Homo-oligomer: A and B are copies of this chain.
Amino acid sequence: MAPIIAASFAGGSRGQYRITQITPVIGEGLAPVARLATHERAPLDFGDAAWTLRGTTGHVRYVAQREKVALAAVQPLLGRPEATCAALIPIRKSDAWWDLAQDERRAIFEERSRHIAVGLDYLPAVARRLYQSRELGEPFDFLTWFEYAPEHAARFEQLVAALRATEEWRYVEREVDIRLVKENANT
């Protein structure tokens, strides 16, 4: 397994991604900014960032072995040249969620909400990486990063809508949806 990677996402006037939309889906939003700078591992000087979100990669929390194999077979890597659309969706879940035991959370997450199975339906079109933020004292519990080609934009909307319609999502108490377009370094 890759070691824990600490990542930062800074919203401001710099960065490789142009922000096309910041939507407060549930609860408080984030200040509107023009660009997003992302960085993994080494710290970056984000200059005048209006906000910076941090998270770490890590081990799977709910994925069972058979699902891990299924995911590994089809999930694409980040950074595909054609995947110029991206989304960053930070969410925070309620105390009611975190109060549940592991088997209760797993039952809601997969047996009843089919979070993993739904995600599989959209592979390999949509690449994603999950960052954990809760233990870092951040305002969100998770940051999910998505990358897809413009031709799969409608599919991505279906994926997001499917997840938001689940029982799991009733435990989400804050969600912001940030849409991005990757731009070449010389634009």
CB–CB A135/B65 < 8 A:
no
Residues of chain A from 87 to 114 with CB closer than 8 A to chain B in the complex: 95, 98-104, 106
Q: Nearest residue in B to A96 (C-beta to C-beta)? A: B1
Q: In angstroms, how far is the closest chain B Cβ from the Cβ of A54? A: 10
Q: What residues of chain B lie closer than 8 Å to A134, measured between beta carbons?
A: 4, 58
Bound CA–CA A95/B99 (angstroms): 28
Q: A64 contacts the other chain (Cβ, under 8 Å)? A: yes
Q: A6 contacts the other chain (Cβ, under 8 Å)? A: yes
Q: A136 contacts the other chain (Cβ, under 8 Å)? A: yes
Query: Given that A65-B104, A103-B65, A104-B65 are known contacts, is A59 also in contact with B136, CB under 8 Å in the complex?
Result: no
Q: Nearest residue in B to A57 (C-beta to C-beta)? A: B135
Q: What residues of chain B lie closer than 8 Å to A135, measured between beta carbons?
A: 4, 56, 58, 132, 135-136
Bound CA–CA A56/B134 (angstroms): 10
Q: In angstroms, how far is the closest chain B Cβ from the Cβ of A72? A: 11
Bound CA–CA A104/B64 (angstroms): 7
In order of increasing CB-CB distance, the 3 nearest A-B pairs are A65-B101, A64-B103, A135-B135
List 24 interface pairs A-B (beta carbons < 8 Å), by A numbering: A1-B95, A1-B98, A4-B134, A4-B137, A56-B135, A56-B137, A58-B134, A58-B135, A59-B99, A59-B100, A60-B101, A60-B102, A61-B61, A61-B102, A62-B102, A63-B102, A64-B101, A64-B104, A65-B100, A65-B104, A67-B101, A68-B101, A102-B106, A136-B136
